[in-house]
Amino acid sequence: MVVNKKVGVISLGCDKNRVDTEKMLAILSQKHTLTSDISEAQVIIVNTCAFLASSREEAIGEVLSASLYKDKGVCEKLIVTGCLPQKFIADIYDDLIEADAFLGVSDYAKINDVIDSVYLGDRVNAVGIPAGEPCKERVLTTSSYAYLKIADGCSNHCTYCLIPYIRGKFRSVPLADLVEEASSLGNLNELILVAQEVTRYGQDLAGNVNLITLIKELSKLDNVGAIRLLYCYPENITDDLILEFKTNPKLIKYIDIPLQHASDPVLKRMNRKGTGAGYLSLIENLKSNIPSIAIRSTFITGFPGETEEDFNNLLDFVAKAKLFNAGFFKYSREEGTPAYKMDGQLPQSVKEKRIRKLYALQRQVSKQNLKTFKGQTLSVTVEGFDEDDLLYYGRAYFNAPDIDGKVYFTAKNELCVGQVCQVKIARSTDYDLIGKMI
């Protein structure tokens, strides 16, 4: 049995993958020493994403880069985990000879046993079927905030998406397990709920459990300062959830709603359940009931058969919706999805032209949104100090980590990461605010 190797983990992909990595780190720490310096790790683990072709290319590149440490004589074993082996183990096992072992998205509890096996000389394929969470313990890789993965998998089968084929059907984590996990994470300014579809939480559980039930239970925790929701599908944003936003002081007035498009024919081909008019009505309802709410979304352009009329409908929607922020993606043709075989595949040049137009439009919308904060004082959580501009930076309630803009500001005193301070806004840019601490 192998004891106390120095282990480093490279985590790729989304925040849900980050939670998986943190749970794997907790399991590894039971037997091994963790290091954040990959160059000194005896065992390197790459936890991969495989959602898009670009994600798979990045994952393979990271594995190959990590394998160079073997040549330098420091790294002894290289292990690949997560989405890439889960979906593509048959393609990579023989070809990716640099890796000593492979584990899937629900196999992290096996990691210490797998390390034992590879040190005995075995090459291991430990990829199983998507199942439950490996544990509730975690080694946090964030400060002042943490993600809570409340479910895994997806049962929607959007025609462009590989997630159901990688992570399996939608599976809610039992409520008691989530409350226990959240309570163990220490004092948090912010707990961010994530899943492929947060608003579906509990539909597969007994006992009439749902997202609102979970929010109420998590709100009782003294160590949780606030709760943020990401990835709320529009068809499951109910009046009860809107009421919870209005009445629960711990629920941040921010919501991420992945709409993906606004033209009805495209939405139908995507196997999305809504309509452009319905989405616009939902946004108006949210803004009417929760005037300060910041709404974020994501959209795909260049989907098979997307006509100029479809694209113009999307542009018109973005202009009318006035979302606080939005991300845009060029359709990626993924083999194994229904959309892969659809007629009307568009050239990259068309996709690139359309995505530039969308970003240009949203830049103007975001700029106008941010201008309204000039002269206001906002609560900002400090995230760091910009050595180039000599400014602190942090997040206000409308800034989720990594995906939204920041608030930059001056301060007379030295500040710590995680500290909450009051910042008076002097001006704005396309995506950020600038001010001074008062």
Residue 213: both structure tokens together = 């039930």
Instruction: Taking residues 103-115, report their average pLDDT.
Output: 97
Return the pLDDT at 132: 86
Return the pLDDT at 207: 86
Per-residue pLDDT band for 73 (boundaries 50, 70, 90) equals confident
Return the pLDDT at 408: 97
User: Which runs of consecutive H residues, i.e. helices, occur in 74-168?
Assistant: 83-92, 111-119, 163-167
C-alpha distances (whole Å) from 253 to each of 92, 101, 116, 121, 397 are 44, 43, 47, 53, 7
Give the Cα separation of 158 and 339 in Å (integer). 9
Return the pLDDT at 253: 98
Instruction: Taking residues 400-422, report their average pLDDT.
Output: 95
Residue 274: both structure tokens together = 């809504």
First to last CA, the chain: 57
Per-residue pLDDT band for 330 (boundaries 50, 70, 90) equals very high
Question: Residue 262 gets which letter from DSSP?
Answer: -
Q: What is the pLDDT of residues 257-305, one digit of tens each?
A: 999 999 999 999 999 999 999 999 999 999 999 999 999 999 999 999 9
What is residue 78's three-state secondary structure?
strand
Return the pLDDT at 384: 95
Percent of the chain as helix, strand, coil, to the nearest 5: 35, 20, 40
C-alpha distances (whole Å) from 347 to each of 265, 331, 343 are 19, 10, 12
Answer whether residue 72 shows pLDDT above 70: yes
Q: What is the pLDDT of residues 340-357, one digit of tens each?
A: 999 999 999 999 999 999
43 pairs with which residues across the strands? 7, 77
CB 296 within 8 A of CB 404: yes
User: Would you call 35 exposed, middle or buried from its count of C-beta atoms within 10 A (0-12, 13-18, 19+)?
Assistant: middle
CB 159 within 8 A of CB 432: no
Return the pLDDT at 88: 97
Instruction: Taking residues 26-39, report their average pLDDT.
Output: 96
Give the Cα separation of 168 and 187 in Å (integer). 33
Give the Cα separation of 314 and 305 in Å (integer). 14
CB 26 within 8 A of CB 135: yes
C-alpha distances (whole Å) from 264 to each of 76, 268, 271, 317, 322 are 53, 6, 10, 12, 19
On average, the pLDDT of the chain sits at: 96
Answer whether residue 110 shows pLDDT above 70: yes
Give the Cα separation of 90 and 68 in Å (integer). 24
All domains in the chain, ordered by first residue:
6-125 (3.40.50.12160), 145-370 (3.80.30.20), 377-437 (2.40.50.140)
Amino acid 165 reads: Y
Instruction: State if pTM tops 0.85.
Output: yes
Answer whether residue 159 shows pLDDT above 80: yes
Answer whether residue 71 shows pLDDT above 90: no
CB 323 within 8 A of CB 299: no
Q: What is the pLDDT of residues 182-223, one digit of tens each?
A: 999 999 999 999 999 999 999 999 888 999 999 999 999 999
CB atoms within 10 A of CB 215: 19
Return the pLDDT at 1: 65
Count of residues making up the chain: 438
Return the pLDDT at 372: 95
